[in-house]
Structure 1
Amino acid sequence: MTSLNQMPGSYDEFLLQNRKYINGSFLYVIFTCIFTGPAIALGIYFGVFNHTNYYACFIISFVMLMLYLLCWYLYKISPYSRYSAYIAICVMNIMLVYMSYEKINVRVTWFLMPLLSMLLLDIKIYVSSCLFNYLMVILSIWLSAPFMSSITNDVTPRQYFLNEAIARSIESFIMAVVGYEIGRLISFYYKSLIEEKHTVSVAERMMEKQIVLLESMSELYDRVNYIDFESMIEQSLQCGQKIEYKLDLENNNHSHMVNGMIDEVPKEDHDRFLRFTDLKTIQSRLSKQKIISEDFKKNNKNWYRLQYIVVASDENGYPTKVIFTTLNIDEEKRKEKFLLEMALTDELTKLSNRRCYDRDVAEWKMVAPPENLCIISVDVNGLKIVNDTLGHMAGDELINGAVDCILKGMKRNGKLYRTGGDEFVAIIFTTDYKEIGEAILNYANQWRGIYNNKLAISIGMASVVEYPYVTYEELEKIADDIMYQNKAEYYKQNGIDRNALYNKYQAR
């Protein structure tokens, strides 16, 4: 009736298609039955049917012709009707009764009627067809009992009726049960086929989606590998080519693609690279998260990101299919570096800022200060007065002037940070820190700008040489205290009342 390739999507849809097919097939059956009358007429002519007449043959053919026209009309207006074939079966049952009445007994035909209804796979139609068929059988026995008993001459019509009715009842019951089981098996068979086709279709759609996903991923990434732990297959999708390799985890913990990449990894990263790409542990690592990734350098030049992505998992959440990708991330790393430098750099002076200073100090605090460590705390004197009187361009000039003087004095012996508006901290590693301090002050005294004709700075210095048993925080505080003492002395020598300046600023 329906091939597997043409199998509908659901069992209900199959029943509809089956109904249409059965209704169409019944038209051929009924059309064939139209020739039953002429066939019986030939039997009368050759002496096979001696107890009937040609009129009965005409009635049979005429009724079957009318039934054919009725079923043809019903099929045209409603090909999926469940009652078209049922009506035909009932009419043919009635015609069998008529044939029995006319002494035309074709016994095997009685059993065909319920079996034909079974093809509709409708339990209600099958049961009602069996019951109607049984009633028609009993009626035909009753109508033919007088004639059949007269032929045998050894039983009465009543005895003949009872004997035949009991025998036909047993036969009808057996036929009904067997037909029901056959119909149930056919229904189960088609349900199984439809479910199997649905499962296959779902798997095919998922496979198609995975193929599309893999193909799209191969365009996004530099390399893409599909790893199937169920079939132990590794498939390379590089450059649109699908090359398969067998996975042999007993002798090799890594995929074919990873083995080809190991020479590109710097030696110091070999162990980390091999741990990350170990296929014996990747499933357990991916069972906790769907994606894992790590960044590596290639030949100490380019950055690339390795990534494992779960495609499918079993019922316990254990990955069975995984995608392994590599992606060049040089541009991303450059952006990260640029953003990090922006976050750690003072915009005006291009020096490292307070955030960078705190980060570096946090690292230094984890170890004992080296013997040649010296902290220089520097503050620009009178910066606020210059900003208020000459403007911020003049103030910026003072700040940049101070930076130039400090850097010249340091002579690349350390690192300079701008930690506040007019505050700087230099971390140097030298025992000649006093000479550096003097050099910075000398450069400051000699400095001249466009908006300012002098630069005054205060310096505080504290070294491990002078204070060998203090912590970094204590050394930093000593340098700050010395700087503030020098700053106070500068304002005092120049007759500047810092409190008056502060009160004036607050009043504005």
Structure 2
Amino acid sequence: MIKKLLNFFANGIFKAEELEPIRPKLWAANRRSLTLFAALSAAATASGTLGGLFTDIAVMRQCFKGYLIVFLLNISVIVINNLIKRPSKKLQAILISLFVAPLYIFALYQAVFISPEDRPLILVVFLCLIPTIFIDAPARLFIDFGATAILFTVLGTTMVPEEQIGISVADVLIFGAAGVGIGLFFNKSRTERYLLSHRIQEMQNESEQMKYWKSISNIYLSMNQINLENDTFIQIRSHELVDAALKNNHEGYSKQIADVVKSAVDPDYVEAVMAFVDPSTLQTRLEDEDTITYEFLGKNYGWCRARYIVVDRRRDESIKQVMFLIESINEQKKREKELTAIAETDGMTGLYNRRAGIPKIKKLMGLKTPGMLCLLDVDKFKHINDTYGHQAGDRVIIAVADTLKATFRDVDIILRLGGDEFVFFISNVDSERIATNVFNRLFDRFEKVSIGCIPDYSISVSIGATFTKEGLSFDDLYSQADSCTYESKKVNGKAFTFYRG
């Protein structure tokens, strides 16, 4: 049992002897990823460093030293990584840690001190996406997760407000565990890809290859072996929709694959998939690769991934035969959608957060959609927190969010800026008369809301509203609505004010 556990931490679900032949390729893949992502990180932190030096942006000035340290580490990693010519697993592991550790520490600093309201987004980006960059031993994923969780717990219990400690630590545990799971999944799938390519190249004849392909064909919707010399193909596994588009089962691959694409692929993806399956460009696209992939939407079986794998090369490295595979990736897309939803959602209310909601409003404005932009503040919210505690304040925030969701349509965009501030954009409401009816309906709903832990309390809000107009940006409208909210605050009780400047 212990031996199996140690092997898992070192090699995942694979045996050490299975991985040995492909370690040089795994090392080369990690080397490329390390150079690319360290360069991207260096560019981002260089911008932050310059911003901290030459601007008055408070966040950048606060993080100046952090930006500079991460930038210098990234440059060091890039230089050392490119100086190493011979595979060295231990040295590469050190370089990966030098790249990853500062990013995790920087993420925790941002989540705890700089932007606690964006904590879920920050943790998704760092804890869930970084583990997918490298093909690495599971042990490092667990070590990174454990160290991050311990560090955040220490920071959380000393620096985070008491009422937020539980949810902060829970966020790290949830997203960290998700990151480990996602990292293990990506490690497994990418390692299997290299093992698959290696096994194919080891096979001495076509009968051995065919036997192997048939043994794994049940995981694919369609599987064909293509001879690029004479444009013939052998079907190993097919699908009824593919069969319906084929004129015969072995000749004229170039023409027939085009017919299959037109009949089986969602129209929005046909052009791109046609370019991907085109056999005339494979020699160039597979010159330095053994496999390439493209994801698309099928008409009848959802999200799919098409893949070409080199089966046989000539001595001059030109390609003789390839495998063309199609697999369903609906489950993977479902997981990606769930992660995106987490990153875009305010954890307390389920509304959009600032980073997700504002771009959606800007997009509607870019499409010239008429509408009304509103800011909403809860009246005397600080008094509620001070008198009845933060849990009571949280219940008020959730009740306001639920009332907004119940009042407005699915096409309307509602987001929580943070604290007791909300923004909503109501499409096609372009007059004060219609808007007044909308606000009265909203206020009527607020009258019916009760907060059990606050006796005799009725939610009171102040709203500032303005309408879209040609030439005005989101920032212009936000400024107008903000000034109106300030005016509404002067009124005792629920109030709304329109911008008439």
Q: Which has the higher contact order (CA 8 A, sep 6+)?
A: 2
TM-score, length of structure 2 as denominator length: 0.49
TM-score, length of structure 1 as denominator length: 0.49
